[in-house]
Amino acid sequence: MTTDLETNRSTGDDREGGEAYASGLSELLKLALPTILLTLTYTVMQFVDTWMLSRLGETPATAGGNSGLMAFSILSFGLGVAWMVNTLVSQARGRGEPKTCGRHLWQGVWFGVGYSVVIAPMLPLAGPMFRAMSHPAVQADMEARYFQIVMLWSIVKLAGTSAGQFLLATDRQVAVFVAAVAGVSTNALAAYVLVLGHGMHSQGIVGSAWAQNIGVTVETSILAILTWNRTSRHTWGTSDWRPRMPEMRVLMRTGLPSGVQAFGDIFAWSMFCNVVMGALGATAMAANTFMLRYMVVSFMPAVGMSMAVTALVGRYIGMGRPDIAERRTDLAFRLTAAYMVACGIVFFVGRRALIELFTDDPLVIAAGATCMTFSATYQVFDAMYIIYYGALRGAADTFVPAVVTAVFCWGLVVFGAYVIARVMPGLGTSGPWMIATAYGIGLGFFMLIRFRRGAWKHIRLGPNKKPDDLATA
C-alpha cells in the first residue's frame, strides 16, 4: 500500500526547475522543522541545567556536564541501534508494508530492554571510573552520583527513543515535538525546585539528575500513548509486540554498526572532555563545559535535520527513487551549513561575552573564548558530517562510516589530543582543539565523498534480504 502523499512525493521532482525545487524544499522543511524544534528543546534543557548548576559554583556545573556526557555516551550504543527504527519503518512504509512498521518498532524496544540489563552492572563502578580520571575528589563524587541516577532510567530513555523514531518515520513529527516540550518543561520545573531550592532545600547535582529523569518519564509516557493508541495499532500494527527473529536480524545487521558509530563518536568526545581536558586542570574542564552548551545550539538542529534526511532517504530508497533522496540530502546540507556558519560567526564575535553568562572567573573566560574560536571554525565541516552520515544511515550504509568514525575519533580526538595536552600543556585548550578541528574537517569530507560515490543507492533491506557488502565500496 502506498499513500497518495507518497505517490506525490515520488513524482514531485519530475517537474521542471523552480517548481521542483520548491516542492523539495517544502517536503524537507515539513518533515525537518518539527524535528529541529525537538532537538532545540533538548538544547534548552541542557543549557538551563548547566546554568542552574553554575549558580551553585563551577564545580557542580562541570561535574554535571562531564557526567551527563559520559552517561549519554554509554547510552549512545543503544540509541544508535534505536535510531535505525526510523530507517526500517521508513523503508517498510515506502515499500507499502505498513503492518511491518510495528514489528520494527517493537524490535527496537526489545533491544533497549536487553541493553539496559547489560549496562546495569556499570552503576557501582561510577565512583572508581571518575576518580581514575584524576578529577578533584569533590567533583568525582558529584559525577558518580549524577551518572548513577541518570543511568537508572536508561530503559525508559531507550524505549522512548524507539517510539519517537517510529513516530518520526510515520510523519508524526509534531506529536514528537509536543512530547519533547512537555518533557523539557517538566525537567525545567523540577530543576527549579530541586537544584535551585525553590520550595525545598537544594539537592544540588542529585536534584539535577532526578529532574532529568522526571522529564524523560513524562516525554516517554506521551510517546507511548501516541505510539500504541487505536489508530497506530490499526494502521501500523503496533500491537504486534512479540520478538520476531527476521526483523530483529535486520535491526542487528543495520543497527549494530550505527550503534558502534554513535558510541565511538560520543564516547570519544566524553573522553576528550573528561580525560584530555582533565589533564589540563579544572579551569580547562569548566571552560570546555560552558563552550559545549553553545556548540550544542549549532549542532543539535543539524541532528534534527539529519533525522529528517534519514527518514526521507529511507522512504525514497524503499520507493526506488535514490535520485530524489540525493537531491533532498544536498538541499538539507545547504540549509544546515548556512545555519551553522551563522552560528560560527556569533561564536567568534561573542566568544567572551557568551562564556561570561556562566562565570566571572577571568581564567575560565579566557580559556572558554579560545574554545569558542575553534568551535566557530568547526561548524561547516560538522554540518557536512552530520547531514551526509544521516543520509547514509537512511540507506543502511553504516558499517564503513562506523569504522572510519571510530578511527578518526580515537586516533585524533582522544589519543592525539591527549598527547598534545601532556607534551605541550602550555598550549592550554588550543592544543587539543586544534586536533579536534582536524578531526571534524577530515570526517566531514569522508562522509561527503562516500555519499558522492553512490554505493548506498544499491542497498535493499527486508527480513529476507541482505544489504550489499559495502565494506570495501
What DSSP letter does each residue of 322-385 carry, written as one string? HHHHHHHHHHHHHHHHHHHHHHHHHHHHTHHHHHTTT---HHHHHHHHHHHHHHHHHHHHHHHH
Q: Could you tell me which of 473, 470, 91 has the C-alpha nearest to residue 257?
A: 470
Q: Which amino acid is at 400?
A: V
228 contact partners, CB below 8 Å, separation of at least 6: 238, 239
**Which are the contacts of 469, defined by CB distance < 8 A and separation ≥ 6?**
none
Task: Report how far residue 438's alpha carbon sits from residue 432's, in angstroms, rounded to the nearest whole number.
Answer: 10
CA 140 to CA 138: how far, in whole Å? 6
**Pick from 77, 20, 62: which is nearest to 402 by CA?**
77
- Tell me the mean pLDDT in the region 118-122: 91
CB 153 within 8 A of CB 217: yes
Decide if 78 contacts 154 (C-beta within 8 A): yes
Q: Supply the pTM of this predicted model.
A: 0.74
Amino acid (1-letter code) at residue 202 = S
The whole-angstrom separation of Cα 366 and Cα 346 is 17
Mean pLDDT of the chain, nearest integer: 85
Going by pLDDT thresholds of 50, 70 and 90, the confidence category of residue 10 is very low
Residue 121 CB neighbour total at 10 angstroms: 8
User: Measured between alpha carbons, how far is 192 from 197 in angstroms, rounded to an integer?
Assistant: 7
Burial class, 188, CB count within 10 angstroms (exposed 0-12 / middle 13-18 / buried 19+): middle
- 465 beta partners: 462
Checking if the pLDDT of 16 tops 50, the result is no
Q: Give the span between the Cα atoms of 72 and 151, in whole angstroms.
A: 9
CB atoms within 10 A of CB 11: 11
Lowest average pLDDT, out of 78-92, 104-118, 176-190, goes to: 78-92
554513535: which residue's cell? 262
pLDDT of 207: 93
Condensed to tens digits (0 to 9), the pLDDT of residues 295-318 reads 888 888 898 899 889 888 888 887
Q: Name residue 92's amino acid.
A: A
d(CA 448, CA 385): 7
Q: Cα 268–274–279 angle (5° rounding)?
A: 115
Give pLDDT, residue 9.
Answer: 43
Could you tell me the end-to-end alpha-carbon distance of the chain, in angstroms, rounded to an integer? 33
- The tens digit of pLDDT for each residue in 329-341 reads 999 999 999 999 9
pLDDT digits (tens, 9 = 90+) for 364-407: 999 999 999 999 988 999 999 999 999 998 888 878 888 888 88
Which among 215, 262, 274 is positioned nearest to 69, based on CA atoms?
A: 274
Give the Cα separation of 255 and 252 in Å (integer): 5
pLDDT of residue 266: 83
How far from 368 is each of 236, 242, 360, 361, 429, CA to CA, in Å?
48, 50, 12, 10, 8
Q: What is the pLDDT of residue 462?
A: 53
Rounded percentage of the chain residues whose pLDDT exceeds 70: 91
Confidence (pLDDT) at 4: 38
For residues 436 and 415, give the distance between their C-alpha atoms in angstroms, rounded to a whole number.
Answer: 11
Can you give the pLDDT at residue 13? 58
**Per-residue pLDDT tens for 251-302?**
888 788 778 877 877 888 888 988 899 889 889 999 999 998 898 888 888 9
Helices and strands (DSSP H and E) totals, the chain: 19, 0
Identify the pLDDT of residue 6: 43
Model pLDDT, residue 328: 92
Q: Cell 559525577, residue?
A: 143
**What average pLDDT does range 461-468 have in this prediction?**
50
Contact 158, 72 (CB under 8 A): no
Please give the average per-residue pLDDT across 76-83, as a whole number.
87
Q: For residues 13 and 447, give the distance between their C-alpha atoms in angstroms, rounded to a whole number.
A: 25
d(CA 409, CA 342): 26
Separation CA 91–CA 108 (nearest Å) = 15
Distance CA 387, CA 331 (A): 10
**Residue 457 three-state SS:** helix
For 284, the grid coordinates are 580547562
pLDDT of residue 193: 92
